Amino acid sequence: MFELLQYTFIQNALIAAILASVACGIIGAFVVVKKIVFISGGIAHASFGGVGLGYYLGINPMLGVLPFSLLSALVMGTVSKKSKIPEDSAIGILWSLGMALGVIFVYLTPGYAPDLMTYLFGNILTVPRFDLYLMLVIDIVIVCAVYLFYKEFLSLCFDEEFTTVQGVPTEKLYLFLLCIIALTIVVLIKVVGIILVIALLTIPATLSRKFTNNLKKMMFISIAFGTVISVTGIGLSYALDVPSGATIILVLSLVYGLVAFGMDILESRRVLKG
Amino acid sequence: MENVIELEDVWVRYGNQTILEAINLELKEPNGLLGIIGPNGGGKTTFLKVLLGLLKPYKGSVKLFGKPPEKSRDLVGYVPQYKGFDFDFPISVWEVVLTGRMSHTGFLKKYSEEDKKAAEEALRTVEMFDLKDRQIGQLSGGQRQRVFIARALATNPKLLLLDEPNSGLDPHMQDELYRLLDRLKHEMAVIMVTHDLSAVSVYVDRIACLNRTLHYHNSKEIPVEDLEATYQCPVELIAHGVPHRVLERHKESS
């Protein structure tokens, strides 16, 4: 098993797993407690337009995803709050609009898009070095932003109206949070792909909520869960020769199911005894 | 001395619907409890949102302590209706109350010792300091209500606004709430909106009726015509143990 660690692609995969777990542990906690899973899924899917744009312009698709996901976060955040259409309809429209743009861009690109599937379903075993650097920079941005704005974010997620009354520019802060979610999505795309991103944003955070009543601790536990589970997933996918992204999600879901079930049983026993 | 509240011909509309119409209100007294009663959908929450600067009236002027609401954030405490809250949220009583300090702390700064002192004092005022480490879901309805009042008090407000603070509380807890407000009203101006007429108890100093328009009399006594205009049906006041509040029988419907 240890000779595996000598391979560069395995090393890269492990580093990518850790970087992704840090991002999704911190931001996933906000996504779960603020109940913005659907809008996060929308941003993730819409950013497929960026993948297509990258192919069309002949640049690294990750560089297409970065601005595209930020843009879709801003548009979604603004439209869902300001327009008269209900928020979930607005998200649904922009979600599919982004994907459709991506499909058209890929179609217009001459030749064959070689690793298109990587962006949809992820392949952590093929993460190039440049993408790792990009992930590292984004992780640093995320950690700094959350460190600086922690008290505002906490209050925003708990009670947006009261936070406004306290003089915090909540509309801008919410858009800022969505932008950080967009950045997190960029980090996660290589690991599990656009389609499965939402699982990494929600499962570790929901799981960690079962072990603590504190948002900060939730983030740390979530990072730990994410790291252990994605490394396990990488190992399994290598051993069984199955896709890595989907394997990670399956392990996550399995662990979540077992923990939730186990805790329910413990809880009902305590009730019976008490 | 500036007026606590000065509303001049304030109108609020949603689409074609007029929610508030030509509201005038001048509240001079820096202390005391003003109860605003009115039916559901009568614009009570909208009225509070206008005072808080969350909603811009399309006509009229709003001033708190001589300034527009956005400029007087650090003087106003707000206790929202807590029906729609997610009490599973991973936040402790202490963290909730500290958020009431943000208008003083400022952006990008950690809560100072002064902030923590104000939060502690607010929690002691509502007698919840011992439970400061509890997650808010682990509290009873009455305790939660007191935590939200403490969060508003942490701001050190000169004006405290409460939106239906008595809803969902049993009579005993309501009574506790009113006694708390009775203490607070000596230190600040308190405004409580409610649809519950029986809530207008001994502790209220002034009453106004709100149903799109506002009838304010600067006293405890409300003419029955005003109540009936507000509720648009005959109203008979039943106030337990406060006989002076029963004003007069409404005329037999003819």
Question: A215 to chain B: which residues are within 8 Å by CB?
Answer: 90-91
pLDDT of residue B173 exceeding 90, the answer is no
pLDDT at A79 over 60: yes
The range of the structural domain enclosing residue B174 comes to 1-65+158-254
- Asked if B54 lies within 8 A of A161 by C-beta distance, the reply is yes
**Cβ proximity of A120 and A195 under 8 Å:** yes
Amino acid code (one letter) for A190: K
Digit-coded pLDDT (tens) for A91-145: 999 999 999 999 999 999 988 777 888 899 888 888 889 999 999 999 999 999 9
Same domain? For B111 and B186 the reply is no
Count how many domains chain B has. 2
Residues of chain B neighbouring A159 (CB-CB closer than 8 A): 80, 85, 99
Which of A36, A159, A160 to mutate against chain B (most B CBs within 10 Å)?
Answer: A159
DSSP state of B56: -
- In whole angstroms, what separates CA B178 from the centre of its chain? 12
- The answer to whether residues B147 and B193 belong to one domain is no
The answer to whether A207 and A32 are in contact (CB under 8 A) is no
Query: CB contact, 8 Å: A141 with chain B?
Result: no
Residue B126 lies in a domain: yes
Here the ipTM equals 0.88
Domain membership of residue B222 (yes or no) is: yes
Q: Which residue, B136, B157, B178, sits at the end of a domain?
A: B157
The pLDDT tens digits of the residues spanning B187-220 come to: 999 999 987 766 666 778 888 888 888 888 766 6
Residue B71 domain-assigned?
no
Q: Are B141 and B168 in contact (CB under 8 A)?
A: yes
Domain assignment of residue B38, yes or no: yes
Q: For chain A, which domains are there?
A: 2-273 (1.10.3470.10)
- Final residue belonging to a domain, choices B135, B157, B179: B157
Answer yes or no: do B162 and B251 share one domain.
yes
Give the number of other CB atoms < 10 A from CB of residue A274: 5
Position B10 in a domain: yes
B76-79 and B159-163 strand pairing:
parallel
The least confident of A109-118, A149-158, B40-49, B138-147 is: A109-118
Q: What is the pLDDT of residue B223?
A: 62
Contact yes or no for B154/B122 (Cβ under 8 A): yes
Indicate yes or no: CB of B89 within 8 angstroms of CB of A157.
yes
Residue B225 lies in a domain: yes
Mean pLDDT of B87-116: 92
Domain termination site, one of B131, B157, B183: B157
Residue B18 and residue B93 in one domain: no
Contact with chain A for residue B9, Cβ under 8 A = no
- Same domain, residue pair B187 and B151: no
Please name the helix (run of DSSP H) or strand (run of DSSP E) that holds residue B211, with its range, or none.
strand B206-211
Domain contains B70: no
Cα A169 to chain centroid, rounded = 25
Q: Which of B52, B89, B97, B138 has the highest number of chain A CBs within 10 A, making it the mutation to test binding with A? A: B89
Say yes or no: B165 and B56 in one domain. Answer: yes
- Same domain? For B139 and B203 the reply is no
Q: Which are the contacts of A89, defined by CB distance < 8 A and separation ≥ 6?
A: none
- Give contacts of B70 with chain A, Cβ < 8 Å: 167
The verdict on A274 touching B (C-beta cutoff 8 Å) is no
CB of B157 within 8 Å of a chain A CB? The answer is no
Q: Across-strand partners of B14?
A: B17
Q: Does residue B143 belong to any structural domain of this protein?
A: yes
